[in-house]
Structure 1
Amino acid sequence: MMERLLDRDWVVRLLSVLLAFILWLNVTSDRVTTATRVYQLPVTVENLGEDLQVLPPERPMVEVSLTGPRPELDRIREEDLQPYVDATGLEPGYYPLPVKLRARLPAGVTARVSPDVVYLRIERYVAKQVPVTLPQPEIYRDEVKYVLELEVKTATLSGQQSLVDRVVRVEARADVTGAQTGEVRQAHLVALDSTGNEVTGIGITPATVPVKVTVVQLPPAKAVPVRPRFTGALPEGYTYSVTVSPATVLVRGPRDRHAQWTEVVTEPIDLTGQTRSFIYQVGLVKPEGAESMDAQVATVTVHITEEVVERTFQDLPVGVWHLGPGLQAELAADRATVRVRGPRRVVDRFDPAGFALRVEARDLGPGRHLLPVRYDRPEGVQVLAVEPAAVEVTITQVPENPQGNPGGSD
């Protein structure tokens, strides 16, 4: 039956039309289906001055979203999308810059960049030639001294100006372990700031420099204690203690001189007028007959404190304060002793009358009363004890005179 139907012209034509319609539906369906593609892309900084660079060195990333018909999106390659910012005319500083997209997008495709603004810090790129130094031109190891000599004495720093400007010196650091006389070792260069910390993020050219090593056999050594030498005196009432680093140094020279070396003294340190602790870098004086020492300077820490003393003031008068009218008082003990502690400069000049020892009789009537001994607290002095701490006080009426006037006087 199917064969008979296919033999008829109109049936074949109808089937062809149906097949063409189905194909058209498939094609148009693909074209009208909307899709989204997302790319993570680095932002290019364009038109940046030749002596400028962006901080940090890593390029900022943005998200580029494309929306459109799927077949059109399939034709777009990642390298066809170029997000960028324009740095024309910018000087060193911190800037928000709009992100633009350079791309040839087919009809019906739209793009969105997120974030659409990036923040960039721009700094000047500089190069500067600086001298190279040896932190230790002479290195002592056991009975050997290694003398180092730089064969290249300058290096070039390059990088961000703020970092290069922090550098105060470039040191050549060489490992001389096992070196022989005349041997050349490569020393690694390190850039340091004013506090001695390494400055990173900059280029140093060359990165290493040759250092010539000379090996010198040393005479025998003796460990000798370091003694700080002082001139002047602290103000009255102050005392001090001292710590020294290093506490001992190795002094080298003929063995027959060793017995004479009992101490290594420092250059004089002046104590005049000092009232606060301080730290002093001071040179060491090489003993007579010595050829070398393994340290040339010492760190002397002077701890200054006020001298504290205790003192006892005896036989101080005790008064009665605020006794009511028409009354008189008698103290069982009208003298007292006060013991104090304080800085010598204060205690030595203190007038004990400043204690104003007393008992308080305000609002008290006739009778016997045990009253605490009170005193004024002097500035800068600690009162340790008052003896007696309390006094028995007998209060009585003042006898009237024959004319009837109390007190016996006008």
Structure 2
Amino acid sequence: MMIHLKRNWPAKLLSLLAAIVMWFFIMRDQNPVMEVTYTVPVQVQNLNSGYIVEDAPDTVRVVLTGPRDTIISMKSDNLRAYIDASGVKPGQNNVTIGFTPPAGMNLVEVKPDNITINVDEYAERKVPVEIVPIGKFSDDIALKSVTIVPKEVTVSGRKQQVNTVSKVVMKVNVAGQTKNFSAVSTLEAWDIAGNVLDVHINPNQGQVQYELNLLRKNKAVPITVPTIGTVPEGYEVKATSATPTQLTVTGREELIDTITDIQTEPVDISGATETIQGTYNLVLPSGINSNTSTVRVKVEIQKKAT
């Protein structure tokens, strides 16, 4: 058997090599090596917790080569480039963008592969929220109360920016408002000159509730006529009336809302046996006004039916 194997061994070896080469070319034609380009996100890794990087690129382009079936089966959503920030310091730093190709693939290049990033110290602090009104209330409106939620927020980011924050504001349009209202708005961090700063605000939205009072509210109320004293025995008060029967009063909303009627000064009916008529003054509570100060009053008195 060994004798047969040793016969013509050079020819047999050449045949084996030819078969291997032919297999390689056949497989290459069926599963060729291809070059593909992906846009992948960039992650900053190993960054000191006391530092912050905000100008690193969001994405880079990577060029890979590999067999077609490997490329087809690969999930490109899982590809990630990275910046190893373990050695960076505050200020400008030149860093390399790295990429580890998946199994079966080869990395051709990363575009860009070197960049300059600015590193700053990280800082955060609590800042109260203030309202900045847009427009103004009319002269008839008084602010009763205003409630802000949240009352304070956390600003964070580059130390220099965070330290420059003078206040966090919520802009609220109050022009034309006459009743209680609420508003929701995005918060802004301002420096002392009113410039908006590039910092993170948590939470980044606020809500405000306004309670308003009308300084001059009008209301129509009836006029009532009080009496003092008593009529003689055998007589009775049939009815009391005023002309006009009602009037419009003006005052602060909280006062006007408590008014149900306006009285005249009392009519003395002591010993009266006939109808009393005349002009009487109105008694207006403090803070309540009216264009009318007197009215005609009539108190009808008659004998009791026997």
State the TM-score, normalizing by the size of structure 2. 0.51
CA 1:147–1:197: 2 relative to 1, 3 Å: farther
Q: CA deviation at 1:26?
A: 6.3
- How far did 1:89 drift? 4.2
| Counterpart residue type for residue 45 of structure 1 | V
Structure 1 unaligned spans of 5+: 1-19, 220-410
Match of 1:94 among 92, 95, 112: 92
Query: Deviations along 1:224-261, whole A, 9 cap, x unmatched?
Result: xxxxxxxxxxxxxxxxxxxxxxxxxxxxxxxxxxxxxx
| 1:130-141 equivalence runs, <5 A | 130-135=127-132, 139-141=136-138
* Aligned match for 1:171, one of 156, 159, 169: 169
Offset of residue 116 of structure 1: 1.8
1:128 aligns with 2:125: yes
What one-letter code is carried by the residue in structure 1 that aligns with 2:100? R
**CA–CA distance in structure 2, aligned partners of residues 84 and 119 of structure 1:** 14
Secondary structure of 1:88's partner? coil
* Aligned partner letter, 2:48: G
| Equivalent residue letter for 2:53 | V
Question: 3-state SS of the aligned residue for 1:43?
Answer: strand
Match of 1:118 in 2: 115
What are the equivalent positions in structure 2 for 1:47-62 lying under 5 Å apart? 47-56=46-55, 59-62=57-60
Query: For 2:81, which of 80, 83, 90 is the aligned residue?
Result: 83
Aligned pairs for 1:150-165 within 5 A: 150-152=147-149, 153-165=151-163
| SS of 1:211 mapped into structure 2 | strand
Mapped partners of 2:204, 2:107: distance in 1: 51
Measure the CA separation in 2 of the matches of 1:137 and 1:178. Answer: 11
DSSP 3-state at the match of 2:26: helix
Q: Counterpart amino acid of 1:101?
A: F
Is the contact made by 2:38 and 2:63 (CA closer than 8 Å) also made in structure 1?
A: yes
The letter for the 2-side match of 1:145 is A
Map Cα deviations across residues 275-333 of structure 1 (whole Å, 9 max, x no partner): xxxxxxxxxxxxxxxxxxxxxxxxxxxxxxxxxxxxxxxxxxxxxxxxxxxxxxxxxxx
**Larger mean Cα displacement after TM superposition, 82-91 or 204-213:** 204-213
Following the alignment from structure 1 to structure 2, what is the Cα–Cα distance between the partners of residues 36 and 110?
10
Give the C-alpha shift of residue 194 in structure 1.
1.8
Match of 1:144 in 2: 141
Q: Cα RMSD (Å) of the superposition?
A: 3.8
Distance 1:72 1:218, change over 3 A: closer
Q: Any conservation in 2 of the 1:191–1:198 contact (CA below 8 Å)?
A: yes
Mapped partners of 1:75, 1:190: distance in 2: 47
Q: Summarize the alignment of residues 236-275 of structure 1 with structure 2, pairs less than 5 Å apart.
A: none
Change (3 A) 1:151 1:62: closer
- 1:214 counterpart = 2:193: no
Counterpart AA for 1:62: V
Could you say if the C-alpha distance between residues 70 and 194 of structure 1 is closer, same or farther in structure 2, counting changes exceeding 3 Å? same
Aligned runs of 1:1-400 on 2, under 5 Å?
24=23, 27-30=26-29, 33-56=32-55, 59-79=57-77, 81-106=79-104, 109-135=106-132, 139-152=136-149, 153-176=151-174, 177-180=176-179, 183=180, 185-186=182-183, 188=185, 189-205=187-203, 207-217=205-215
Q: Which has the higher contact order (CA 8 A, sep 6+)?
A: 2
Equivalences, count: 196
Deviations 1:169-226 (A, max 9, x none): 223433344343xx3523634322222233355324362143332324169xxxxxxx
Q: Which runs of 5+ in 2 are unaligned?
A: 1-18, 218-306
Residues in 1 aligned to 2:135 and 2:33: alpha-carbon distance in whole angstroms: 76
Q: What secondary structure does 2:95 align onto?
A: strand
Contact 1:67 1:110 in 2 (8 A): yes
Distance 1:148 1:136, change over 3 A: farther
State the alpha-carbon separation in 1 of the partners of residues 62 and 213 from structure 2: 65
Q: Distance in 2 between matches of 1:212 and 1:80?
A: 50
Deviation at 1:139, TM superposition (A): 4.5
What secondary structure sits across from 1:174 in the alignment? strand
- AA matched with 1:43: V
SS of the residue 2:192 aligns to: coil
After superposition, the C-alpha distances for 1:372-405 in whole angstroms (9 at most, x for unaligned) are xxxxxxxxxxxxxxxxxxxxxxxxxxxxxxxxxx
Letter in 2 for 1:115: P
Contact 1:68-1:110 within 8 A present in 2 as well:
no
Asked if structure 1 preserves the Cα contact closer than 8 Å seen for 2:181 and 2:210, the reply is yes
Question: How far apart, in 2, do the equivalents of 1:134 and 1:33 lie?
Answer: 65
Q: State the one-letter code of the partner of 2:37.
A: V
Matches of 2:142 and 2:37, distance apart in 1: 66
Task: Give me the whole-angstrom Cα distance separating, in 1, the residues matched to 2:127 and 2:83.
Answer: 36
1:368 alignment counterpart: none
